Amino acid sequence: MKIVHKIEEVKACIKEWRKEGLSIGFVPTMGYLHEGHESLIKRAMENDRVVVSIFVNPMQFGPKEDLASYPRDLERDSSRCMENGADLIFHPNPEEMYKEDFYTYVDMSVLTEELCGLSRPLHFRGVCTVVLKLFNIVTPDRAYFGEKDAQQLAVIKRMVTDLNVNVEIIGCPIIRESDGLAMSSRNSYLSEAERKAALILYNSIKLGKQMMKEGERDAAVLVSAMKVFIQKEPLAKIDYVKAVDAMTMRQAEKLNGTVLIAMAVYIGKTRLIDNFTFKCEEGG
């Protein structure tokens, strides 16, 4: 496995692999890898070669967000990549990705107007811009994204369709700790008490799923029950809990088709996200 920092080094490597007719899978990450990331790498092994990018992308962080404190550990990440069979790590610094005269951005409407897009106004511009750049550098056949970031996955799929990017986007299930907390690099911020409190996200998901299974189709009733449940946890502060159409990310009063129920909740100062998708039966 190789670790490279320059765009040209990635391109040279890809060129060699392409000469040999090899297929390429790509897993974009911000590093501090955990089993969620590892599940994407494992899935990407269905390609002949696997590239993992590790880049804490400044463009997708707001001015008051955790860019500076975001956890980083390249050594540990390299071992995890190697253990899971990755062939190349691309670890650029911000100056390599964004030259001083960088003026081009990818913006998206509709899908970015709710959920995290509402609380983090320029977040998806940063995500789309960096992911499109990475796609152009790595030119993968397939790229792997977690359903943990459900809005991001929908946005990337839409970008690839809208801009005719020649890559297949593969969504992978949420990997959880044994007690149900969705794995996240940001879980490392949590104190012991906060770690316990963080379970409220998963428990509210269990409640929401149960209500949907029992036939609840009124978005306001569902969301309100989940919010009331979360508010019982003193360390939790809700950013949002919403039910949206899984394709458009638009809110609906009556739930039908495939629905995404997504949330962002602060546990202390740490903002955590989680979600589930529910397919309502025809006519349900």
Q: Which residues bind ligand AMP (CB under 6 A)?
A: 29-30, 36-37, 39-40, 145-146, 148-149, 172, 174-175, 182-185
Residue nearest to ligand AMP (CB): 146
Distance in Å, CB of 283 to ligand AMP, minimum: 32
Alpha carbon of residue 126 to chain centroid: 13
Quick one: 13 or 40, whose CB is closer to ligand AMP?
40
Q: 95: Cβ–Cβ under 8 A, 6 or more apart, which residues?
A: none
Q: Catalytic one among 5, 34, 37, 91?
A: 37
Quick one: 87 or 149, whose CB is closer to ligand AMP?
149
Quick one: 14 or 156, whose CB is closer to ligand AMP?
156
Closest CA to 136 of 99, 171, 166, 159: 166
Distance in Å, CB of 71 to ligand AMP, minimum: 10
Distance in Å, CB of 133 to ligand AMP, minimum: 15
Quick one: 154 or 222, whose CB is closer to ligand AMP?
154
Quick one: 126 or 146, whose CB is closer to ligand AMP?
146
Q: How many residues belong to the chain?
A: 284
Task: Judge whether 141 and 23 are in contact, CB under 8 Å.
Answer: yes
Distance in Å, CB of 174 to ligand AMP, minimum: 4
Strand ranges, E, within the chain: 2-4, 24-29, 49-54, 88-90, 142-146, 168-172, 236-245, 258-267, 270-279
The one-letter amino acid at 252: A
- Residue owning tokens 């789309």: 128
Residue 37 a catalytic site member: yes
Q: 115: Cβ–Cβ under 8 A, 6 or more apart, which residues?
A: 151, 240, 242, 244, 249, 262, 264
Distance in Å, CB of 60 to ligand AMP, minimum: 9
- Any idea which residues carry the catalytic annotation? 37
